């Protein structure tokens, strides 16, 4: 009987150790699965943040591509050596055309798929930006230091709406005004 007792105890010990390791493996697998979900969420958040920053750079590039005549006209009005009336009229016409082109380009900007959660908010903000440029085009003034209150209010609305998107995504709201001025 002693001969059978030793192998039986050894078998029981190995069996108990195997069962104990299997439980640890299952717990490890569950932890790996849970951390995988956490990593996926983090990656998704990172993708959204990255897409939002890429979108911002694309939007700035889109606007800055055609808005130079607007700022050239505004600068010419306050320059020490003002251009002739004919030159100023030509610059004003170019500024109006540029503002309308910017509005059209802004409406053509596509919201990336990674930002579909914020798509409606972004599109509403983009419409405010486009309207801001259209309003500016319609109200360009020959007066130095002219105020564009309606256009500025629409731009502020755009910045506020985009700021909310950035904050919701866990980012600091940017100042588009600083980036969109040549």
33 belongs to a structural domain: no
pLDDT at res. 61: 94
Q: DSSP states of the chain as a string?
A: -HHHHHHHHHHHHHHHHHHHHHHHHHHHHHHHHHHHHHHHHHHHHHHHHHHHHHHHHHHHHHHHTT-HHHHHHHHHHHSSSPPPHHHHHHHHHHHHHHHHHHHHHHHTPPPPGGGGGGHHHHHHHHHHHHHHHHHHHHT--SSTT---HHHHHHHHHHHHHHHHHHHHTTSPPP-HHHHS--
- CA distance from start to end of the chain: 96
Domain containing 132: what range?
45-179
Q: Are 59 and 166 in contact (CB under 8 A)?
A: no
Q: What angle in degrees, to the nearest 10, is found between the helix axes of 119-138 and 149-168?
A: 160
10 belongs to a structural domain: no
20 belongs to a structural domain: no
How many domains does one find in the chain? 1
Q: Are 113 and 79 in contact (CB under 8 A)?
A: no
pLDDT at res. 35: 47
34 belongs to a structural domain: no
Contacts of 131 (CB under 8 A, 6+ apart): 103, 154
CA 180 to chain CA centroid, nearest Å: 15
How do the pLDDT tens digits run along the chain, 182 residues long?
Answer: 445 444 445 444 445 555 555 444 444 444 444 444 444 444 488 888 999 999 999 999 999 999 999 999 988 988 888 889 899 999 999 999 999 999 999 999 999 999 999 999 999 999 999 999 999 999 998 887 778 899 999 999 999 999 999 999 999 999 998 887 65
Look at phi and psi of residue 82 and say left if phi exceeds 0, alpha if psi is from -120 to 50, else beta.
beta
Which CA distances in Å does 134 have to 19, 24, 120, 177, 180?
A: 73, 66, 21, 16, 16
pLDDT at res. 27: 46
55 belongs to a structural domain: yes
12 belongs to a structural domain: no
29 belongs to a structural domain: no
39 belongs to a structural domain: no
């Amino acid at each position: 009987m002693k001969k059978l007792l030793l192998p039986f105890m050894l078998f029981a010990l190995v069996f108990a150790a195997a069962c104990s390791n299997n439980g640890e493996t299952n717990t490890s697998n569950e932890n790996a699965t849970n951390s995988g979900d956490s990593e996926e969420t983090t990656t998704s958040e990172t993708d959204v943040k990255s897409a939002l920053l890429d979108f911002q750079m694309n939007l700035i590039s889109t606007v800055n591509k055609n808005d130079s005549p607007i700022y050239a006209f505004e600068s010419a009005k306050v320059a020490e050596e003002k251009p002739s009336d004919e030159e100023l009229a030509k610059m004003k016409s170019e500024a109006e055309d540029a503002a309308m082109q910017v509005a059209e380009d802004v409406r053509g900007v596509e919201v990336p798929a990674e930002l579909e959660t914020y798509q409606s908010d972004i599109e509403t903000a983009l419409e405010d930006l486009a309207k801001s440029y259209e309003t500016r085009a319609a109200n360009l003034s020959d007066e130095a230091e002219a105020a564009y209150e309606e256009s500025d209010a629409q731009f502020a609305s755009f910045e506020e709406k985009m700021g909310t998107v950035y904050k919701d995504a866990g980012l600091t709201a940017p100042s588009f005004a600083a980036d969109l001025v040549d």
